[in-house]
Amino acid sequence: MTATLQLRVVEARELNPLIRMLRLKADDGSALPGYAAGAHIRVQVALPDGTQDWRHYSLINFATARNATNAPAEYRIAVRKEADGRGGSRFMHEQLKEGDLLTIEAPKNDFPLHTGPGGTVLVAGGIGVTPLASMAARRRAEDAPVRMHYAGRSQELMAFLPELRALLGEDLRVHADAEAGGPLDIDALLDDCPAGDRLYVCGPKVMLDAVLARTQARGWEHDRVHFELFTTSVAEEGDQAFEVELAQSGQRFTVPADQSILDCLIEHGCDPMFDCKRGECGVCTTAVLEGEIDHRDYVLSAREKAEGNVMQICISRAKGPRLVLDI
């Protein structure tokens, strides 16, 4: 089990109407566990229904000393308010105050930065900028080529622009949809990537899917593209409720349109394995005995998806009215 820490909120500041930045420290001033660029912490949040849950937030660092995050004095995170989420981000925005204690788990890194030769291209969408900011600082610390494309709806809603401008100068390209009249041009961005550069993308699903589709179409090798999905909401327009049956126990539950199978099982007292809850890690892979799957993950291959024998229950859903799972 991962160790937990109690940290004090020493600063809570609204960067814009959607994003709140928090700085966390140990009460005794001791150094916190180190982390590498791309790492996140899990933070315990209180939900409106009185239950506790965990949310992931990437750790943000702009310092370019090579050892800046080896034994940091504080953690910095930023939280985007999700009006239609389950209440975790509203807790972080509306209830948590400076001086409060937060329970967190020590940092973990599912989005590691590959150091060494070659350039690094960072593609950030909205709050997805947080892990990429730490990667930019790390590559600067190594004197390695790095540039960032940072996209958002409008500059007013894009966090950390001053810090990123100071860190990256000309190597930061800012794209505000409202000013540009449309979304970031992924093809133009890829046209500019020298062979050998690695690309890291973090943002909403639509951005991730576009970058993955375009790099695949261009024949980029798999290990040149690294990604992390930035969402806590798995709902898509048109999602319907459906029934899941657990073949081993015979239990049946209705999965509401706005809930994942995983969360539904947890709510009913089951104990499924999971980690990322974003369809990226593969921990929640579950065998499916009956029913058509609406695959939404980044774990299974196209062949596995077509065969329809397994699914990621944290994010994928049913196309029809019912799924039978082999659990």
For binding to ligand FES (CB under 6 A), which residues are involved?
A: 274-277, 279-284, 297, 299, 312, 314
Which of 53, 69 has the CB closer to ligand FES?
53
H or E element that contains 146: strand 146-152
52-79-202-84 Cα dihedral, nearest 10 degrees: 70
Beta carbon of residue 206, minimum distance to ligand FES (angstroms, whole number): 19
d(CA 1, CA 4): 9
Query: Per-residue DSSP letters for 4-62?
Result: EEEEEEEEEEESSSSEEEEEEE-TT-PPPPP--TT-EEEEEEE-TTS-EEEEEEE----
CB 56, min distance to ligand FES, A = 11
129-141 helix and 161-168 helix, angle to the nearest 10 degrees: 20
What is the gyration radius of the CA atoms in the chain, in angstroms? Answer: 20
CB of 279 to ligand FES, least distance (A): 5
Number of H helices, E strands in the chain: 8, 18
Q: Would you say 159 or 225 has its CB closer to ligand FES?
A: 225
Length of the chain: 327
Q: Which is nearer to ligand FES, 159 or 327 (by Cβ)?
A: 327
Decide whether 82 or 280 has the Cβ nearer to ligand FES: 280
Q: How far is the CB of 297 from ligand FES (least distance, A)?
A: 6
Cβ of residue 81: shortest distance to ligand FES, in angstroms? 24
Nearest to ligand FES of 43, 262 (CB atom) = 262
**Continuous H helices in the chain:** 88-90, 129-141, 161-168, 177-180, 186-191, 205-217, 261-267, 302-307
Are 203 and 210 contacting, i.e. CB atoms less than 8 angstroms apart? no
- Residue with smaller CB distance to ligand FES, 136 or 327: 327
The distance of closest approach from Cβ of residue 231 to ligand FES in the complex, given in angstroms and rounded to an integer, is: 13
- Tell me the closest approach of the beta carbon of residue 234 to ligand FES, in angstroms: 10
Q: Which is nearer to ligand FES, 104 or 276 (CB)?
A: 276
